[in-house]
Amino acid sequence: MSQFSFHWHLAHRILRDKGDRFSKPIIRLSVFGVSLGVVIMLIAIGVTAGYKQVIEDKVVTMGQHIRISNYDRNYSYEQVPITLNDTLLHEILSHPEVVSAQPYATKVGIIKTSDQVEGVVLKGIDSTFNGLDFAHNLLEGDTLHLKDTTADSHIILSKRLADKLQIKIGDKVRTYFVQDPPRQRSFILSGIYETGLPEYDTKFALVDLRHVQKLNGWSSRQVSGLEILTSEYNNIDKVGEELHHQIDMSLKAETVKQIYPEIFDWIALFDTNVSVLLIITTCVCMITMMSVFFIIILENTKLIGILKTLGMKTKHVVHTFLFVAGRTLLRGLLIGNGIGLGFGWLQQKFHLIKLNPDTYYVNFVPIRFELWQILLLDLGVFTACMLVLLMPAWIISRKISPVKAVQFE
């Protein structure tokens, strides 16, 4: 029998001892404590990853990753136009991480019904708009059917605006624009969307790009800007900076993090809170394992003396009791992973825990697990707990005298 097998077998016998031992309920309690800690940590990292994924998806469906617009000091929705040309499009699309570039144009207006008035920002889009991803936000109706020949006369409103204006699919939507001379346009409501992001749902309505260009008095080549989709969300800061230096000095490239800092600053707080939670919970697991370890050592002092009397070296005694702690820790990790992943699957499948979308942007707690995060978490907890046991295990095993240990009661 190899030393590993011997230590593992001896650890198993110590844990499975049927005698009346004080350590049994303590070991069960430690397994419960480690399991609870792992469940908390798994849910914390799962919720954080889920929130980031949901916000990223919502932002992409409405505004992509990077926006290129005129480099002026006007931060309103009445922007100075940029002119699309082959040189600009080539500079952008030649970047290896740029997937697509879609033009947009905005116009501030008013929607008026018989008894309601609401401000709105018309966002003009064309056939390059990512309609398939946006369709996930549609609650009713259909997306715009954009053609190259004629401008689509339909409009898509958010649920908030539609509810305030008390209009439904198929109703006529009259919009008014304060300019010289004042203008009015009528659309047919074809779709109602909801992203859960107040920055979009309280303001934007989607229409054909050509309507906004005519209202602004622009040519077919003039737009408010370009929305860029990249191949990897995590690289948008780097890609945004590279595009900013690559394009003409009269233009600027901004990432969605720069355009909507309040959303992403709020998300960044999750990382800080989760990091603190992981550290605290890991420390609790370490203290729990140290406590049960000392109790097991104390209860098996006589056994240690016998093993030393029979010629077992101190390091082998240390290995044996580290195996005892390791088996206890692994049991807690396995149970914790089972409960945490099971709960995460149920939450993602059935949305058991609801949220207020006005506050949290989503109506349920999103959870997303990555295999590498789970493995790293388990490895980190196991390593940290085992490391803190090395020193006390070595000191206790060396200090225990075989003669005194055999007589220990």
Amino acid 269: pLDDT: 87
Sequence-ordered alpha helix ranges (H) in 64-188: 86-93, 131-134, 159-165
Cβ pair 337, 379 in contact under 8 A: no
Residue 302's alpha-carbon distances to 7, 308, 401, in angstroms, are 17, 10, 10
Amino acid 17: pLDDT: 65
Cβ pair 65, 242 in contact under 8 A: no
Amino acid 67: pLDDT: 94
Highest mean pLDDT pick, 5-14, 29-38, 294-303, 383-392 = 29-38
pLDDT single digits (tens) 199-255: 889 999 999 999 999 999 999 999 999 999 999 988 999 999 999 999 998 999 999
- Peptide bond before residue 261 is cis, with ω within 30 degrees of 0: no
What mean pLDDT do residues 106-129 have?
Answer: 93
Give me the chain's average pLDDT, please.
87
The continuous run of DSSP H or E covering 100 comes out as: strand 98-112
pLDDT single digits (tens) 309-367: 777 776 777 778 888 888 899 999 999 999 999 999 999 999 999 998 878 888 899 99
Q: Is the pLDDT of residue 403 over 60?
A: no
Amino acid 312: pLDDT: 76
Strand partners, 176: 110, 184
User: Quick one: angle between helices 261-299 and 301-309, nearest 10?
Assistant: 60
What count of other Cβ atoms lies within 10 Å of the Cβ of residue 21? 16
Amino acid 240: pLDDT: 95
Phi, psi angles (nearest 5°) of residue 67? -120, 130
Which of 60-64, 176-180, 262-266 is predicted with the least confidence, judged by mean pLDDT? 60-64
Joined tokens for residue 311:
């010629």
Cβ pair 293, 393 in contact under 8 A: yes
Residue 177's alpha-carbon distances to 25, 74, 81, 118, 183, in angstroms, are 74, 19, 18, 12, 5
pLDDT tier at 191, thresholds 50, 70, 90 = very high
Q: Is the pLDDT of residue 181 over 90?
A: no
**Interacting residues of 329 by C-beta distance below 8 A, sequence separation 6+:** 34, 289, 381, 382, 385, 386
Q: Give the DSSP per-residue string, 224-251.
A: SEEEEEES-GGGHHHHHHHHHHHS-TTE
User: Quick one: angle between helices 261-299 and 314-350, nearest 10?
Assistant: 140
Q: Specify the higher pLDDT residue, 266 or 303.
A: 266
pLDDT tier at 22, thresholds 50, 70, 90 = low
Amino acid 2: pLDDT: 61
Supply the pTM of this predicted model.
0.84
Amino acid 321: pLDDT: 80
Percent of the chain with pLDDT strictly greater than 70: 90
Cβ pair 255, 240 in contact under 8 A: yes
Cβ pair 329, 289 in contact under 8 A: yes
Amino acid 192: pLDDT: 97
What mean pLDDT do residues 59-74 have?
Answer: 82
pLDDT tier at 8, thresholds 50, 70, 90 = low
Q: Is the pLDDT of residue 404 over 60?
A: no
Longest dimension (CA), the chain: 105
Closest CA relative to residue 111, chosen from 35, 165, 38: 165
pLDDT single digits (tens) 134-164: 888 999 999 998 887 888 999 999 999 999 9
Amino acid 97: pLDDT: 95
Using a 10 angstrom Cβ sphere, with 0-12 exposed, 13-18 middle and 19 or more buried, the burial of residue 173 is buried
Percent of the chain with pLDDT strictly greater than 90: 56
Distance CA 313, CA 309 (A): 10
Q: Is the pLDDT of residue 106 over 80?
A: yes
Highest mean pLDDT pick, 71-75, 211-215, 268-272 = 211-215
CB under 8 A, 24+ apart: contacts of 388-394? 388/286, 388/289, 388/290, 389/289, 389/290, 389/293, 389/322, 389/325, 390/318, 390/322, 392/290, 392/293, 392/294, 393/293, 393/297, 393/318, 393/321, 393/322, 393/325, 394/314, 394/318
pLDDT single digits (tens) 30-44: 999 999 999 999 999
Q: Is the pLDDT of residue 398 over 80?
A: no
Distance CA 2, CA 386 (A): 22
Amino acid 281: pLDDT: 95
Highest mean pLDDT pick, 13-27, 182-196, 393-407 = 182-196
Residue boundaries of the structural domains of the chain: 3-58+264-406, 72-248
Amino acid 267: pLDDT: 84
pLDDT single digits (tens) 274-283: 999 999 999 9
What mean pLDDT do residues 49-61 have?
Answer: 86
pLDDT tier at 186, thresholds 50, 70, 90 = very high
